[in-house]
């Protein structure tokens, strides 16, 4: 057999050629990807070294072992060479990053960043809180999950009142409930503080209600005042001041007798319709105020003596008033929002308008 046809010699030649060539090829790669591509051309399934390995089968058995060892040695060299080049390439990349001119962090962004802002309910809550703080009211807080006594019983709700029903309120297995109004804070304040007191209590409330004007979760603010010789006139004065500061000067206020278990007398409060108000202050009537010129905004009344007694406060010495309003309703009036759901969907196109 002549040297030129000896597969062992051919394999040997090819191994030598590859040994010479692989490192310069790796070194020539300037990116990780081209380095990996070059490595695959040699060690991949159809790679050059893999092909040489396949030729081993044709070599005479006596030389096969030695040449096999050479192939394996080269394979290890190629692998080690690849790793070294990869490491060098990454190191060079990192050094280039570090020595590049620094970013100017003070440059303004190319795309203006849209700023978020307050939700209409938050805006209105802060406004109402600000008005009552100006009038000298403190701000109280309380839990969303409440005892039946604080939410209903001590406020004078009879045990069979519909609001106490499973169908109307959210009850827990342990017979607590998600408070249905912020009036629970009245009881919490009266059972922990001594009169006189004046506070408001903003908070989230829950009812089993869900349509265009009702949401199962909504927001209320309660206002509450106890002192000696408080009369309905004080209540009306606070309401007039509130309406004026929130809805503008000379906003008419009217009280309509109404029933709430914890007040006597109780009333619903209307303000002059904000929708059909003319520039001269007159109101023509519109569909939103059902052509009455007035719109309902809250419930109020003089604290019922029984409620005071339930909290160990002497009704002969102390009297007071309470009022409660829905913040969604105030926001809808304030901004002419037609559907309460818009305030819970939180579509940015809606929110951006406030
Ligand atoms: N708690 C009542 C409600 O949820 C609102 C209310 C009415 C609060 C009269 C009061 C009040 O403090 O005096 O509808």
Helices 48-55, 61-99: axis angle to 10 degrees equals 170
Residue 89 Cβ < 6 Å to ligand 1? no
> How far is ligand 1, taken at its centre, from the CA of residue 284, in Å?
29
Is there a single domain that holds both residue 59 and residue 165? no
Question: Is 1 inside any structural domain?
Answer: no
Q: Is the pLDDT of residue 133 over 70?
A: yes
Question: Which SS3 state, helix, strand or coil, does residue 164 take?
Answer: helix
The closest alpha carbon to 294, from 266, 325, 256, belongs to 256
Mean pLDDT taken over the chain: 92
> pLDDT class for 5, splitting at 50, 70, 90?
low
Question: Is 113 inside any structural domain?
Answer: no
Is there a single domain that holds both residue 93 and residue 124? no
Phi, psi of 174 (to 5 degrees): -90, 15
Is there a single domain that holds both residue 146 and residue 67? no
Is there a single domain that holds both residue 335 and residue 236? yes
Tokens 């970013």 identify what position?
103
Tokens 């001041």 identify what position?
241
Report which DSSP code applies to 195. S
Is there a single domain that holds both residue 339 and residue 224? yes
* pLDDT tens digits along 202-242: 999 999 988 877 889 999 999 999 999 999 999 999 999 99
Question: Strand (E) positions, 209-313?
Answer: 217-227, 253-258, 263-272, 294-303
Is there a single domain that holds both residue 157 and residue 283? yes
Contacts of 198 (CB under 8 A, 6+ apart): 136, 137, 138, 224, 225, 226, 227
- Give the lowest-confidence range in 161-165, 199-203, 291-295: 161-165
- List C-alpha distances in Å: 316 to 229, 263, 313, 338: 9, 16, 9, 45
> pLDDT class for 162, splitting at 50, 70, 90?
confident
Question: Is 164 inside any structural domain?
Answer: yes
**What are the structure tokens assigned to 88, written together?**
């060098």
Task: Report how far residue 192's alpha carbon sits from residue 198's, in angstroms, rounded to the nearest whole number.
Answer: 14
Residue 318 contacts residue 227 (beta carbons within 8 Å): yes
Contacts of 28 (CB under 8 A, 6+ apart): 38
> How far is ligand 1, taken at its centre, from the CA of residue 325, in Å?
7
Q: Total domain count for the chain?
A: 2
Query: Residue with the nearest Cα to atom 12 of ligand 1?
Result: 323
The closest alpha carbon to 228, from 202, 201, 196, belongs to 196
Choose which residue among 300, 304, 307 to substitute to test ligand 1 binding: the one with the highest number of ligand atoms within 8 A of its C-beta: 300
Domain limits at 40? 7-99
* pLDDT tens digits along 32-43: 999 999 999 999
* pLDDT tens digits along 73-131: 999 999 999 999 999 999 999 999 999 988 888 988 888 887 788 999 999 999 999 99
pTM: 0.69
């Amino acid at each position: 057999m002549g040297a030129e046809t000896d597969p062992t010699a051919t394999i040997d030649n090819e191994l030598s050629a590859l040994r010479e060539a692989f490192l310069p090829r790796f070194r020539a790669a300037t990116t990780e990807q081209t380095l990996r591509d070059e490595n695959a051309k040699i060690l991949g399934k159809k790679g050059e070294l893999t092909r040489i390995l396949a030729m081993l089968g044709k070599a005479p058995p006596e030389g096969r072992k030695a040449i096999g060892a050479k192939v394996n040695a080269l394979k290890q060299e190629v692998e080690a060479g690849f790793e070294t080049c990869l490491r060098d390439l990454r190191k060079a990349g990192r050094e280039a990053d570090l020595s590049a001119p620094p970013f100017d962090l003070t440059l303004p962004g190319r795309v203006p960043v849209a700023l978020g802002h307050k939700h209409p309910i938050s805006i209105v809550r802060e406004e109402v809180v600000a008005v009552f703080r100006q009038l000298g009211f403190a701000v109280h807080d309380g839990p969303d999950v409440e005892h039946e006594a604080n939410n209903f019983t001590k406020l004078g709700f009879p045990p069979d009142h519909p609001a106490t029903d499973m169908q109307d309120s959210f009850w827990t297995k342990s017979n607590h409930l998600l408070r249905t109004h912020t009036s629970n804070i009245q009881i919490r304040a009266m059972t922990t503080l001594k009169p006189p007191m004046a506070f408001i209590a903003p908070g989230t409330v829950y009812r089993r209600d869900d349509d265009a004007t009702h949401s199962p979760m909504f927001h209320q603010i309660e206002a509450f005042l106890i002192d000696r010789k408080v009369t309905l006139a004080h209540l009306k004065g606070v309401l007039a001041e509130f309406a004026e500061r929130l809805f503008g000067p000379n906003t008419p206020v009217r009280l309509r007798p109404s029933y709430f278990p914890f007040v006597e007398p109780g009333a619903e409060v209307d303000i002059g319709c904000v929708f059909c108000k003319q520039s001269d202050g007159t109101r023509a009537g519109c569909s939103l105020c059902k052509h009455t010129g007035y719109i309902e905004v809250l419930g109020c009344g003089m604290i019922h003596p029984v409620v005071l007694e339930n909290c160990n406060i002497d009704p002969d010495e102390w009297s007071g008033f309470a009022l409660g309003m829905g913040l969604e309703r105030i926001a809808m009036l304030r901004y002419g929002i037609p559907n309460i759901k818009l305030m819970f969907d939180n579509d940015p196109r809606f929110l951006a308008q406030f």
